């Protein structure tokens, strides 16, 4: 570990210890009983100024991610809050709530606890305590009700691991940018020639169907497949709900803890959880923009899963990889996707909301209205959210790179426009990272990265047996992920994340494969090919899956180093 990293970590440790000692200081008679240390919170302005290092943001994000949210911090929802009042138990009104849709957890780590394994002699042991829940082992599962008044139509989610997310973020950003560029070029062509233009929507070899562009630049999107109508790739959550780590984190803080990020409150995106001021110690601006950024940086920098054949039959692993192609599994589970630019940005959400280009566009058309196209009635309606996605980082990053003239107000002769929107940008290839972020994936001489993800990051129809009972809302509330569609779950790390599938119904890798069968499932053909294999070939394919593992710790704990849970190692 570099000296500078040690000094930064020791500074964070000193801050934590100082917070613990406050109660004994005569000058600080009022004890702080919360667990979110105020001294470790971060200003987004400081992040934008470049005065906060990656190491500092990483460990501050880890602190928020792994510590408990409690009412001592002035967090949570009032008894008459919008969710809690509909979750009272009828037979005992003093029982405050059913544990779903907010107030269902205290820490991110409660559910996202898949941590990888280590070898100890002949045994494979959990690297650290933790488990992933299933539909019955509900301790680490997520319950989601799109309508809290109807608890018969809910969703169970088996929380996935959080390794390698920065690579996934960057891949989806580049895919969105490529799709938006193709759409814009087709609009220019259709307008110029005065005729319809049909366009195949592909990116990084992934086929998202087609669109038809009319001469007035309108879009017929009936041919799109596995992609929302705004053409933004959403790789996060099983249904493809969030386009960025930032949006996923902000939404999860509100949904699971009833902790209200300021960036969501400012957009009136979520209701006030203390509308009648019945919770006296309710904290305003519960989580600021810089703190969401810190958690996003922590997750984006986490090291990736690995392929490890330790203890496995290498010959079977290699044959199993070939059999993945034979069974057409890799048509969707694409072995590798390439990142062209290794710089990933966690964008300032205030900028996404307020920059001048969108403000000018809002004056042309009421932002809250629904604009319907004046062409063929078969073309889906275009909502204001789709046309003005003012908080979707991939869209703003595309405009920033391709239409810098729209940001003239942000630059001057003395201050040229930077390469990325305001926020925090770091290099996925850097080795100057905390130990928990190492090792990185190898990269090519030009900086590009071949990410062994085994996914295409698009939604596919999984048929009647796996479908949810209801569709799920995305970060754009007007857009839904269909009940029978799921994003291809990346296979890297699959060996260590039992039980499998979106709700944990599969207890073995074999079950996870065959349960993809069913009426309407795009994977039914691959399941049939797997079932037709000999038992030896099936075992070889599964042996290959066993080689896709979560990373080990990489480095032993060092004295005085802030550990994952926010405690000091001894």
Q: What is the pLDDT of residues 80-135, one digit of tens each?
A: 777 766 655 454 455 544 555 556 777 888 778 775 544 444 443 444 434 444 44
Give strand pairing partners of 415: 412
Specify whether 373 is located in the same domain as 229: yes
Among 421, 453, 485, the domain-final residue is 421
Average pLDDT, the chain: 79
DSSP string, 277-330: --STTPPSS-B-HHHHHHHHHHHHHSPPPEE--TTS-HHHHHHHHHHHHHTTGG
Question: 364 pLDDT exceeds 80?
Answer: no
Specify whether 192 is located in the same domain as 252: no
Residue 436 lies in a domain: no
pTM: 0.85
Specify whether 206 is located in the same domain as 265: no
Cα–Cα distance, 494 to 305 (Å, whole number):
9
Residue 488 lies in a domain: no
Residue 485 lies in a domain: no
Cα–Cα distance, 438 to 306 (Å, whole number):
12
Residue 381 lies in a domain: yes
Instruction: Retrieve residue 1's tokens.
Output: 């570990």
Average the pLDDT over 23-52 and give the result.
69
Residue 33 lies in a domain: yes
Specify whether 9 is located in the same domain as 105: yes
How far from 202 is each of 99, 146, 195, 432, CA to CA, in Å?
41, 31, 22, 35
Cα–Cα distance, 518 to 486 (Å, whole number):
14
Predicted local confidence at residue 26, as pLDDT: 38
Specify whether 173 is located in the same domain as 227: yes
Specify whether 43 is located in the same domain as 62: yes
Question: 462 pLDDT exceeds 60?
Answer: yes
Average the pLDDT over 387-391 and give the result.
53
Among 278, 301, 324, the domain-final residue is 301
Q: What is the pLDDT of residues 185-213, one digit of tens each?
A: 999 999 999 999 999 999 999 999 999 99
Residue 1 or 66, more confident: 66
Average the pLDDT over 420-440 and give the result.
92
Predicted local confidence at residue 370, as pLDDT: 30
Dihedral of the alpha carbons of 68, 72, 75, 78, in degrees to the nearest 10: 130
Q: What is the pLDDT of residues 127-165, one digit of tens each?
A: 443 444 444 444 566 766 666 566 566 778 888 889 999
Cα–Cα distance, 153 to 157 (Å, whole number):
13
Instruction: Retrieve residue 353's tokens.
Output: 């909301």
Q: Are 231 and 180 in contact (CB under 8 A)?
A: yes
Specify whether 199 is located in the same domain as 269: no
Q: What are phi and psi of 449, to 5 degrees?
A: -130, 130
Q: What is the pLDDT of residues 512-541, one digit of tens each?
A: 999 999 999 999 999 999 999 999 999 999
Q: What is the pLDDT of residues 10-20, one digit of tens each?
A: 555 555 444 43
- Tell me which DSSP letter residue 212 carries: E
Q: If we measure between CA atoms, which residue out of 46, 39, 2 comes closest to residue 20?
A: 39
Bridge-based pairing of strands 306-307 and 548-549 is antiparallel
- Tell me which DSSP letter residue 564 carries: T
Instruction: Retrieve residue 526's tokens.
Output: 């691959």
Specify whether 196 is located in the same domain as 248: no
Cα–Cα distance, 126 to 118 (Å, whole number):
6
Q: Spell 461-485 as b/e; 16+ CB within 10 A means b.
A: bbbeebbbebbbbbbbebbbbebbb
Predicted local confidence at residue 85, as pLDDT: 63
Exposed, middle or buried: residue 149 (CB in 10 Å: 0-12, 13-18, 19+)?
exposed
Specify whether 403 is located in the same domain as 373: yes
Residue 68 lies in a domain: yes
Q: Which domain holds residue 394?
A: 167-235+349-421
Residue 388 lies in a domain: yes
Instruction: Retrieve residue 417's tokens.
Output: 């426009």
Residue 431 lies in a domain: no
Specify whether 194 is located in the same domain as 253: no
Least confident of 174-178, 416-420, 565-569: 565-569
Q: What is the pLDDT of residues 319-356, one digit of tens each?
A: 999 999 999 999 999 999 999 999 999 999 888 765 54
Predicted local confidence at residue 242, as pLDDT: 93
Q: What are phi and psi of 165, to 5 degrees?
A: -70, -25
Confidence of residue 371 (pLDDT cuts 50, 70, 90): very low
Average the pLDDT over 1-28 and give the result.
49
Predicted local confidence at residue 134, as pLDDT: 42
Predicted local confidence at residue 17, as pLDDT: 45
Specify whether 7 is located in the same domain as 107: yes
**Number of separate domains in the chain:** 2
Give strand pairing partners of 207: 202
Across 227-231, 254-258, 411-415, the highest mean pLDDT is recorded for 227-231
Q: What is the pLDDT of residues 244-302, one digit of tens each?
A: 999 999 998 988 888 889 988 887 778 888 888 888 777 778 899 999 999 999 999 99
Cα–Cα distance, 56 to 171 (Å, whole number):
25
Specify whether 226 is located in the same domain as 257: no
Q: Are 480 and 472 in contact (CB under 8 A)?
A: yes
How far from 269 is each of 38, 250, 264, 408, CA to CA, in Å?
26, 11, 5, 29
User: Percentage of the chain surpassing pLDDT 70?
Assistant: 71
Among 421, 439, 456, the domain-final residue is 421
């Amino acid at each position: 570990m570099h000296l500078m990293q040690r000094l930064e970590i020791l500074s964070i440790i000193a801050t934590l210890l100082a917070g613990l000692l406050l109660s004994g200081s005569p000058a600080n008679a009022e004890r702080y009983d919360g667990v979110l240390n105020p001294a470790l919170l971060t200003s987004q302005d400081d992040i934008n100024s470049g005065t906060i290092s990656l190491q500092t943001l990483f460990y501050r994000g880890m602190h928020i991610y792994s510590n408990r949210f409690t009412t001592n911090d002035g967090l949570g929802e009032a008894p008459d809050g919008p969710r809690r009042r509909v979750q009272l138990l009828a037979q005992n009104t003093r029982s405050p709530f059913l544990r779903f849709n907010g107030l269902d957890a205290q820490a991110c780590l409660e559910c996202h606890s898949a941590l990888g394994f280590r070898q100890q002699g002949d045994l494979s042991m959990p690297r650290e305590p933790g488990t992933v829940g299933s539909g019955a082992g509900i301790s680490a599962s997520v319950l989601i009700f799109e309508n809290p008044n109807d608890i018969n139509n809910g969703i169970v989610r088996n929380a996935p691991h959080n390794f390698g997310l920065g690579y996934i973020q960057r891949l989806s950003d580049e895919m969105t940018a490529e799709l938006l560029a193709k759409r814009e070029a087709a609009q220019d062509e259709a307008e110029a020639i005065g005729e319809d233009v049909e366009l195949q929507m592909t990116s990084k070899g992934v086929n998202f169907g087609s669109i038809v562009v009319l001469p007035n630049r309108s879009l017929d999107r009936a041919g799109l497949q596995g992609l929302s109508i705004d053409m933004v790739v959403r790789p996060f959550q099983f249904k493809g709900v969030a386009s960025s780590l930032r949006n996923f984190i902000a939404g999860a803080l509100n949904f699971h803890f009833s902790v209200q990020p300021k960036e969501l409150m400012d957009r009136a995106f979520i209701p006030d959880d203390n509308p009648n001021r019945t919770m006296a110690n309710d904290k305003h601006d519960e989580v600021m923009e810089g703190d969401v950024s810190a958690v996003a940086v922590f997750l984006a920098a986490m090291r990736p899963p690995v392929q490890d054949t330790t203890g496995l039959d290498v010959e079977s692993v290699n044959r199993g990889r070939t059999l993945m192609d034979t069974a057409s599994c890799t048509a969707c589970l694409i072995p590798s996707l390439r990142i062209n630019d290794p710089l990933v940005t966690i964008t300032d959400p205030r900028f996404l909301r307020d920059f001048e280009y969108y403000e000018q566009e809002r004056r042309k058309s009421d932002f809250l209205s629904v604009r319907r196209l004046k062409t063929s009635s078969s073309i889906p309606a275009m909502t204001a959210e789709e046309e003005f996605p003012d908080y979707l980082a991939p869209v703003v990053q595309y405009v920033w790179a391709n239409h810098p003239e729209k940001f003239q107000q942000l630059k001057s002769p003395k201050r040229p426009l930077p390469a990325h929107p305001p926020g925090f940008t770091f290099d996925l290839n850097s080795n100057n990272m905390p130990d928990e972020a190492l090792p990185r994936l190898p990269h090519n001489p030009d900086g590009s990265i071949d990410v062994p993800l085994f996914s295409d990051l698009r939604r596919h129809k999984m048929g009647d047996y796996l479908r949810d009972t209801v569709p799920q809302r995305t970060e754009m509330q007007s857009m839904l992920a269909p009940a029978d569609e799921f994003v291809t779950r990346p296979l890297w790390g699959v060996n260590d994340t039992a039980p499998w599938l979106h709700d944990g119904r599969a207890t073995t890798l074999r079950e996870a494969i065959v349960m993809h069968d069913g009426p309407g499932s795009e994977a039914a053909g691959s399941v049939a090919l797997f079932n037709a294999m000999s038992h030896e070939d099936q075992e070889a394919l599964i042996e290959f899956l066993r080689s896709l593992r979560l990373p080990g710790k990489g480095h032993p704990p060092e004295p005085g180093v802030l550990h994952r849970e926010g405690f000091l190692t001894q």
